[in-house]
Structure 1
């Protein structure tokens, strides 16, 4: 006969054995169930009522039609994601004594940059992201690099026995994964009539880790994703983010021109020759720019300005110290919208710097600064402004099918056709290109390796084709120019090249006409 204690022990063993068997038998190989929605990506997001903030941001940056018609993969942040980002931003703004901002009032350009990171070109299901290193992805605008990697989670005590998850990452343009910002999905592979939708976790803060510093910076930081390369052109309307008394000092209460960055106080309007200018200047104002000087040496610094009177004066500072030779006195140009150049020589030191343009006596409007290295090849990494082709003339520095400079805005005595770049960024661009034309550039590659390469082009059609050569060898293959909506509405064509250390001759070759081109930028892959 079993006593009560033995009977109780036997019952406990039976329960434990049953529970263990039940747990083990409950394991199954999880498979994601493909979900389909009978409508467009826009219809799906609208129908769910938890992406209203995302749709508002999408509408503000003019991407609503893309959600309705384009073939894209969307990583959708929920309303909770926006709520967290905006509340954190406005808590900081309250502490700083600043007015609150919301999706309708944050700077358009910064919102555009961040929203685009949730739109991936083309349609990708999770199974194509199962490679060991995941899959590189490209955003809808600006060719910004993102990354997706699919894996299964652990469940029921079994490794990789649970639901599949995509880790979606902002790569920051670097190969080191520990510098990426990551978000994970809670639903994936939702198929719509025009793409895929993957839903991001609610704890993901919109903008990855960039929303607050972009919308409410307390330090001066680059307007674009990268510092301005020197040598190169600095469009003076593209001063740093950070606001008044941080990235600039402006005494007016608002942007009196209102044609660019309207939420700031720097006064920006259109220039009569095309492009933008900083106007309504006052003595004592200043603007900051983060720059990357690629090589120590002497530079010709050219300032383009317009003035109604003599004695306008500016100078530059680097990291708080005046740049010797940068102080210039500007003769009258015949009016604020009648522009001329003034050039001086400055000595700059390689490295990243905070450059300040200081208005010592303000009676001028400002367009852009251009830096050209003296007596040395153009350095790579860096930006190659394509109007600065090699000297030597036809057949040596360039080949052009006629002897006339159609644009006549720069190097007027030579055959390459150069006009002002007539939108933001300042500087020049090469136009009226004909099939078979080319331009040479003597360059100095600092280190052997792979370089991300970005070419700024504008076109009204889709016929344009070009390639880059180094010492006569094609390094890019033929690159096709998309229709950007106009010769002065530029887009970036991105590719990568492998270059060897040393001095080389780079050739920009026009395989088929139909486009204008501004610059080629080389950034190290790492």
Structure 2
């Protein structure tokens, strides 16, 4: 550490030095543990533009620069006076993996490459990492950070300087920057935040901060922008796995997916105000846990199930009625498998009885629907037994 950073810069005329510039900053950060370093201006400077500096970092930014070229932002990084919060290639690969995972979840092929995503999407998201002029650590030292308008489109981000701890000394380490996509919200809980790995590198035309490798490119925007279909709700088991048959299914554990996909309810709210926030009417049950109530004709609930084997099954449903009872049926993949079943008046909405029926099922994963032909009863749970 005898040679100063300025002396090292002045004596280095070979391109290989650029590869070690950021590493040197990290080494210096590790050697300095006190507030003198934290409050200093540890600025490294390279005599090349931002684009060429990133290009010299072998293997770290090849994918990033490919997207910069694809989006038509090459001249911007070479000539314009901007600050760039640079994501690393690993961040982009992670984002592409998430995109293909989402496509597979919706039944599409998960085989998209960088070129499958429209160039306009890459352009929009890359600009969220760029600001005009200098945005250095010294300008972001405010408790709530600083609102930053990105290059074009006037999209708002937030930057904040945060001191780190070192060797047990609070605020004794180097500064890092929190760079946050505000998601068009003033509430921090809605923000998506990444941390810098190194900061305040001065290039010939601007300033460079490098984001940590675990940052996901685009924050939370790449998947919905590149694959808008992912914004559609998808039906899935409420508890994460299909309900096994034989077994017991609690009626309040209907599938996720929302109105018209996993359930249909005739009114707009949860009349029982329990357990879940959707329109299905759920209340506390005298038999424990919860039951579904306020049933009405044409309402239904769906459950993803896994049937162990082909054959006949007995179904025992715990039901109650204080209003004359009513009819229902069970459907499997849209096929009526039970016929119309009647629940009698039990003398009270929490006076539970067992209503029995039988169904023939085939092995495998299916969608079970409880269809309320007339309503007029409460439903707690149903148990399937192999006959």
TM (norm. structure 1) is: 0.36
Task: Please tell me whether Structure 1 or Structure 2 has the larger radius of gyration of its CA atoms.
Answer: 2
Q: Which has the higher contact order (CA 8 A, sep 6+)?
A: 2
Q: Say which structure is richer in strand.
A: 1
More helix by share: 2
